[in-house]
Amino acid sequence: MSGKRLAVIFVGALLLASCRGGDGAAPQEGAGGIKVDAGVTSEACPNAVDKSKGCIYLGTISDLTEGPFKTLAVPITDAQKAFWKRVNDQGGIGGYEVDVTKYVKDNKYNPQIHNQVYQEIKGSILALTQTLGSPTTVAILPDLEKTPMVSVPASWTSLWGFQEVVLESGANYCVESMNAVDYATEKLGVKSVMAVHNAGDYGDDAAAGTKIAAEKRGLTFENVTTTPGQDNQGGAIDAVVSKKPDLVILTTGPTDAAVIIGQAAARGFKGKFIGTSPTWNPGLLKSPAAPAIKALYMQTAPWKAWGTESVGHTAMRAALPGVTPNDGYTAGWVWAYPLKAALEKAASNKDLTRAGLLAAVRQLTSVDYEGMLPSGAGNFSASPQDALFRQTTLYRPDDAAPTGVTLVEDFFTGSTAKDFKFEKPCYQ
Amino acid sequence: MDEFLQSLIRGLGTGSIYSLLALGFVIIYKSTQVISFAQPAFMLAGAVLVSYLSPAVSFVGAVLVAAVVIAVLALGVERTVLRPMVGKPVFVVAIITIGVDVVVRVVTNAFIGLDVRQVGDPWGLNTVSFLGAEVQQRYLVMIATTAVVTALLFLFFRYSRIGLAMRAVAYDQEVALAQGISVGSVFALSWALAGGLAALAGVFVATGAGVDQQLWIVALKALPAIILGGLESLGGAVVGGLAVGIVESLFGTYQNDFAPWLGPNFALVAPYALMLLVLLVRPYGLFGKREVERL
């Protein structure tokens, strides 16, 4: 065969390959007459409970080694492994079991790495059971929409309410902060509020919610951006001590929060701090800042803590025996429910293709969180304004509680969040 | 006046941490001509080790043991990873130290676990009256410890035979080798000293809120300190570290009142602005050695 002919065949093969529709396999009929494409195989999962069932592969992109959120990311990932194992033990979904162990990638909380590892696994998975971080997920968002790849975030930015491929759970940072300000206004009588936050959509989203609530309530508002790092909190501490707000809404990491609370209190500050859920770590109760934290700090949370009595919480604790209680596990477990509901819906629709899964997501009017979120949570069929989940909880430090916090206020919606017109991400 | 004194003591306290780190950077640079980017990992490892040891052997005992263990670890890293690279371009060796940093940090992170760990220091956030102002005890301890450590280091380099050997190697490696000095031992010892100093610095950082895996970032503040003070000068490292701490603290306290137009968080940029100002006047840093090269 001449070189020229070989070249023509090679180019032709390349063209044919490029016409296949990228990484997605052509739809075909799988077990039970269900239509499948990428990420679903008739072969059993690597650790299948029932070898006769096919396998749905879900991907995980998390911060597993050296990034800043490893202490949350590892329990989130472990909880999701336990969650899907329970699903498999209970018979799987539509004649398939679910594997979340084969395609687990570390993003080091770096958007470039996140995109790179996503490209490595996207051809082999039906959906992402975890894409950790807001800036990291934003880096792959256009691809997620184009593919389409249904994805479960491990973050709470209000942006996700506008992305139909993203299956968020619970209230976002913006709503958390609105409810925190409303609570403090009504129960603690605060007249001034300061948002101390990291830059980026985590902190900016909470600061935006704080500002919206402060304006609605007629409170004085101050905005202070702070850089991560224990040695970098001097500016924020000076701002808190000199402006003396009645309430500080914190959106930082746990040790940075402890430095700010401890140092501000040591310099005579007597106002209250309410932190979003990532500001908390049970280890802070043993830190030098513990007396100040117990006296001045409360924590908002999108759902109830590890030790709560509900069907979901009980199942989670049973599925994770022997672990140190941590609400990273709770978050990972809760976040998995909507994807389970979407997979079940898609299976009952006889369409487990990526497009079929997205169509199933759009049909979800509510998700059964087994009591971990109130009924009505998990509406993915309505507009962002109608679907936005607006209830949060409030906790205070408690040495006796498993994760160091005890419930102060059960699920509630403040008047600001209740009346808020959700037309774009809060921080934009 | 009280506010100024409090801000100054805070600055000197955190500046002491930067000084300890900067001393480590400079000691390694003087003997090997390489900036070691593994210092942040040794700092983190030291703090984590103290968090495990302090319940068993008291805080002070834990700090001493951790400083020695991290010094031995750094020495081991030098002997096994860096020694084969002697003679290679310093840029290559510096990149290898970044790899060492990542490896040591990832291993250390596994020991941190899910919760923030505590080093168990006796001071907490307690304050004491100092010249009429209420200042935190831990800052005074940091300043005093750094003063003692710095004095011991100067005595060591000035009067001990090994210290003299280290100075000779810093001056000219080949001549030192010709005089019978074991340059390899000097390299290893400089890494060990830097490791011990980093461990001590890590413990001091952790006295505020505890040890998490992001503690290492603090070590980066030593970089403007060593450039400011001069890469070859131990005294420069101490002065540079203290200057960075003081400038950061005073800007944090007063910039909002006197220069709000500089914007929020200028205190974090201030050490770098100071570094640039110093470099404009003294391109080799405050105490750096002016390089003369034949063209």
The 3-state secondary structure of B197-239, one letter per residue: HHHHHHHHHHCCCCECCCHHHHHHHHHHHHHHHCCCCHHHHHH
Domain count, chain A: 2
Res. A233 pLDDT band, cuts 50 70 90: confident
- Is the peptide bond prior to A68 cis by the omega test (within 30 degrees of 0)? no
* DSSP 8-state assignment for residue B78: I
Instruction: Judge whether A180 lies within some domain.
Output: yes
- pLDDT value at position B3? 82
Same domain, A352 and A288: no
B137 part of contact set with chain A, CB < 8 Å: no
Query: Which pLDDT belongs to residue A4?
Result: 60
Provide, as residue numbers in chain A, all residues whose Cβ is less than 8 Å from the Cβ of B6.
267
Q: How large a percentage of chain A has pLDDT more than 90? A: 70
Say yes or no for a CB contact (<8 Å) between A266 and B127: yes
Query: Which residues from A are below 8 Å from B253, CB to CB?
Result: 238
- Which residues on adjacent β-strands are paired with residue B147? none
Name the pTM for this structure.
0.85
The verdict on A165 and A187 lying in the same domain is no
Cβ-count burial of A338 within 10 angstroms (0-12 exposed, 13-18 middle, 19+ buried)? buried
- A99 and A191 in a common domain: no
Q: Are strands A192-197 and A127-132 parallel, antiparallel or unpaired?
A: unpaired
Three-class secondary structure of residue A333 per DSSP: helix
Q: What is the mean pLDDT of residues B65-89?
A: 93
- Please answer yes or no on whether B115 and A326 come within 8 Å at the CB atom: yes
pLDDT band at A15 (very low <50, low <70, confident <90, very high): very low
Tell me, yes or no, whether A237 and A366 share the same domain: no
B280: burial class by Cβ within 10 Å (0-12, 13-18, 19+)?
exposed
Structure tokens given for A14: 């390349």
| Residue matched to tokens 């263990």 | B69
- CB contact, 8 Å: B99 with chain A? no
> pLDDT at position B292, please?
66
Which tens digits make up the pLDDT trace of A127-136? Answer: 999 999 888 9
- CA dihedral (B254, B257, B263, B267) in degrees, to 10, reads 0
The pLDDT > 90 percentage for chain B reads 62
**Taking CB atoms and an 8 Å limit, are A288 and B208 in contact across chains?**
yes
Beta strands (DSSP E) in A68-150 are 96-99, 104-106, 127-132
Give the torsion sign (CA, A187, A189, A192, A194).
negative
Instruction: Answer whether residue A12 is part of any domain.
Output: no
Residue tagged 């390694």 (tokens):
B28
Instruction: Determine the straight-line distance between the first and last CA of chain B, rounded to whole angstroms.
Output: 54
CA–CA gap between residue B63 and residue B66 (Å, rounded): 5
Select the residue of A263, A265, A283 nearest B117 (Cβ to Cβ).
Answer: A283
In a mutagenesis test of the A interface, which of B265, B266, B269, B272 is the best target, namely the one with the most A β-carbons within 10 Å?
B265
> What tens digit of pLDDT does each residue of A138-178 get?
999 999 999 999 999 999 999 999 999 999 999 999 999 99
Please, what is the angle between helix B2-32 and helix B137-159, to 10°?
30
Q: How far, in Å, are A288, A324, A396, A405, B126 from residue A294 at the CA level? A: 11, 22, 8, 10, 16
Q: Residues A228, A99: one domain?
A: no
Q: How confident is the model at residue A17 (pLDDT cuts 50, 70, 90)?
A: very low
Judge if A267 and A337 occupy the same domain: no
Q: Do B116 and A258 touch (CB under 8 A)?
A: yes
Report ipTM for this prediction: 0.81
pLDDT for res A1: 47
For tokens 């390089």, the residue is B291
Q: What is the pLDDT of residues B164-211, one digit of tens each?
A: 999 898 888 888 888 889 889 999 999 999 999 999 999 999 998 889
- Look at residues A249, A382, A125, A144 and name the one whose alpha carbon lies nearest to residue A153: A144
**pLDDT value, residue A93:** 93
Q: In what order do the strands lie in the sheet with A28-29?
A: A28-29, A35-36, A351-352
CB nearest to B116's CB, from A235, A263, A283: A283
Is the same domain home to A134 and A157? Answer: yes
Would you call A219 helix, strand, or coil by DSSP? coil
pLDDT at residue A18 in the model: 42
* pLDDT of A25: 62
Question: Count of CB atoms within 10 A of residue B29's CB?
Answer: 20
**For residue A7, what pLDDT is reported?**
56
DSSP B123-167: -TT-EEEETTEEEEHHHHHHHHHHHHHHHHHHHHHHHSHHHHHHH
- For the record, the structure tokens of A213 come out as 């609530």
Total residues belonging to chain B: 295
pLDDT on residue B173: 84
Check CB contact of A203 with chain B, cutoff 8 Å: no
CA B202 to chain A, closest CA, distance in angstroms equals 11
Q: Mean pLDDT across the stretch B119-143?
A: 90
Closest to A81 (Cα-Cα) out of A63, A98, A62, A100: A100
Burial A389-415 (b: 16+ CB within 10 A, else e): bbbbbbbbbbeebbbbbebeeebebbe
Residues A96 and A156 occupy one common structural domain: yes
In a domain, A7, yes or no: no
Residue A272: which domain range? Answer: 173-301+392-419
What is the model's pLDDT at position B293? 65
Alpha-carbon span A201 to A226, nearest angstrom: 13
Report d(CA A329, CA A339) in Å as an integer.
17
Highest mean pLDDT among A236-240, A250-254, B68-72: B68-72
What pLDDT band is residue A14 in, cutting at 50, 70 and 90?
A: very low
Gyration radius of chain B over CA positions: 19
Beta-carbon contacts of A237 under 8 Å, excluding residues fewer than 6 positions away, are A259, A260, A263, A264, A267, B252
Contact pairs from chain A to chain B, CB under 8 Å: 127
Residue A426 domain flag: no
The answer to the question of residue A225 being in a domain is: yes
CATH at residue A405: 3.40.50.2300
Q: What is the pLDDT of residue A19?
A: 39
Total H helices, total E strands in chain B: 11, 2
A10 pLDDT band, cuts 50/70/90, is low
Helices B137-159/B161-171 angle, 10° precision: 80
- Quote the pLDDT of residue A141: 93
DSSP state of A187: I
| Contacts by B62-70, CB closer than 8 A, 24 or more apart | B62/B119, B62/B120, B63/B199, B63/B200, B63/B203, B66/B199, B66/B203, B67/B196, B67/B197, B67/B199, B67/B200, B68/B196, B69/B199, B70/B42, B70/B45, B70/B46, B70/B195, B70/B196, B70/B198, B70/B199
Asked if the model's pLDDT at residue A387 lies above 60, the reply is yes
Full 3-state SS string of A64-88: CCCCCCHHHHHHHHHHHHHHHHHHH
Q: What are phi and psi of A225, to 5 degrees?
A: -95, 135
> Is A258 in contact with B252 (Cβ distance < 8 A)?
no
Same domain? A401 vs A267: yes
Q: Give the model confidence (pLDDT) of A95-118 as tens digits.
A: 899 999 999 999 988 899 999 999
Q: What is the mean pLDDT of chain A?
A: 90
| A349, pLDDT greater than 60 | yes
pLDDT mean across residues, chain B:
91
- The reply to whether A166 and A196 lie within a common domain is no
Is A187 domain-assigned?
yes
| A18 within domain boundaries | no
φ, ψ (nearest 5 deg) of residue A131:
-130, 105
pLDDT for the residue A36: 87
pLDDT digits (tens, 9 = 90+) for A278-312: 899 888 999 989 999 999 999 999 999 999 999 99
- At residue B105 the predicted structure's pLDDT band, cuts being 50, 70 and 90, is very high
Please indicate, yes or no, whether residues A280 and A400 belong to a single structural domain of this protein: yes
Give yes or no: residues A144 and A243 share one domain.
no
Could you give the percent of chain B with pLDDT greater than 70?
Answer: 98
Q: Answer whether A190's CB lies under 8 Å from A272's CB.
A: yes
Q: For residue A281, give the nearest of B105, B116, B125 by CB distance.
A: B116
The shortest CB-CB distance from A230 to any of B10, B125, B205 is to B205
Give the number of other CB atoms < 10 A from CB of residue B172. 11
Q: Which two tokens stand for residue A135?
A: 């800036």
Amino acid, single-letter form, for residue B268: L
